[in-house]
């Protein structure tokens, strides 16, 4: 008989992460309204637009694009894609992240100017929010505007140098996240990798004409968000605890 040993049941299907995002509605210095440009190094990100309209600006080695967003739009992008959300009015998004827990564990680097990316201490000094509740909005917008300066420089450099314009930023981002990799690996092993392994076990069992996992089936439900309106990079987040800490 094939053995099948399901692990903890807290991870969502496929080991994804989910949150409800209400994109910032405060105007930036360039006249656009929206969030903070940043990049993920290990996680893909997807959007399902619930309400409102706007756009997502993306920059990666293949170039710059701006994709319109409206209710019902589904888009996603790979790690390495710098992205910025623009709010055209009431933009709300259900965000889906691969490798549940990694984004919350720091898999995001803002597009700051090079002088803020020299080491982790310098980066955290420029990006850590201060204050509580609504008092955090001021520092969240200051952080966004600082990232927009570096983002504008990257876009301008790309127009001249092509994909090589991203080399220094990518390399700096790698250096900033390396101290976190042991924790990221643990989260991946307990989440997305574990679930993929369980699927493999189920397929082996089915091939043998067995299905012990069917007798342990149950319905799962996440509790209400553990945080409402957290100041994130792109907007205010309702955050769900996926049990990956």
Q: Would you say residue 100 has pLDDT above 90?
A: no
pLDDT band at 5 (very low <50, low <70, confident <90, very high): very low
Question: Which of 184, 189, 149 lies closest to 169, judged by CA?
Answer: 149
By the 10 Å C-beta count (0-12 exposed, 13-18 middle, 19+ buried), 164 is classed as exposed
119: tokens are 């080491």
Architecture of domain 13-210+220-239: Sandwich (2.60)
Q: Mean pLDDT for the chain?
A: 92
| pLDDT, position 10 | 63
pLDDT category at 125 given cuts 50, 70, 90 is very high
Is 152 in a helix, a strand, or coil? Answer: helix
In the prediction, which pLDDT does 4 show? 32
d(CA 143, CA 24): 13
- Rg over CA atoms, the chain: 20
Greater model confidence, 220 or 90? 90
pLDDT in tens, 215-236: 999 998 888 888 889 999 999 9
Predicted local confidence at residue 51, as pLDDT? 98
The 10s digit of each residue's pLDDT in 156-212 is 999 999 999 999 999 999 999 999 999 999 999 999 999 999 999 999 999 999 999
**pLDDT number for residue 137:** 97
Return the pLDDT at 243.
60
Q: What percent of the chain has pLDDT above 70?
A: 94
pLDDT value of residue 216? 92
Say whether pTM exceeds 0.85. yes
Indicate if the pLDDT at residue 241 is higher than 80: no
| pLDDT tens figures, 127-164 | 999 998 899 999 999 999 999 999 999 999 999 999 99
Q: Average pLDDT of 28-47? A: 97
Domain ranges of the chain: 13-210+220-239
Asked if pLDDT for residue 7 goes beyond 60, the answer is no
Number of Cβ within a 10 Å radius of residue 116: 20
- The per-residue pLDDT for 3 is 38
First to last CA, the chain: 34
- Quick check: helix, strand or coil at residue 225? coil
User: For residue 201, what is the enclosing H or E element?
Assistant: helix 192-207
Considering the chain, what percentage of its residues have pLDDT values greater than 90?
82
Confidence class for position 1, pLDDT limits 50, 70, 90? very low
> Quick one: pLDDT at residue 117?
98
């Amino acid at each position: 008989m094939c053995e099948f040993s399901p692990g903890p049941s807290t991870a969502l299907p496929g080991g994804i992460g989910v949150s409800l995002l209400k994109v910032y509605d405060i105007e930036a210095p360039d006249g656009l309204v929206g969030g903070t440009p940043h990049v993920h190094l290990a996680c893909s990100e997807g959007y399902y637009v619930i309400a409102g309209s706007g756009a997502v600006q993306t920059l990666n080695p293949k170039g710059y694009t701006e994709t319109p967003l409206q209710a019902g739009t589904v888009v996603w992008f790979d790690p390495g894609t710098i992205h910025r959300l623009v709010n055209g009015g009431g933009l709300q998004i259900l965000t889906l992240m691969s490798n549940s827990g990694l984004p919350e564990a720091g898999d995001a680097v803002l597009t700051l100017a090079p002088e803020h990316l020299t080491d982790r201490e310098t980066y955290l000094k420029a990006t850590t929010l201060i204050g509580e509740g609504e008092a955090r909005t001021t520092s969240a917008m200051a952080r966004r505007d600082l990232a927009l300066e570096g983002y504008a420089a990257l876009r301008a450099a790309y127009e001249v140098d092509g994909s090589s314009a991203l080399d220094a930023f990518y390399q700096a981002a790698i250096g900033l996240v390396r101290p976190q990799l042991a924790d990221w690996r643990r989260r991946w092993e307990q989440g997305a990798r574990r679930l993929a392994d369980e699927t493999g076990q189920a397929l082996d069992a089915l091939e043998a004409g067995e299905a012990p996992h069917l007798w342990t089936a149950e319905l799962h439900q996440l509790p209400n968000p553990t945080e409402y309106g957290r100041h994130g990079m792109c907007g205010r987040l309702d955050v769900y605890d996926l049990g990956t800490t």
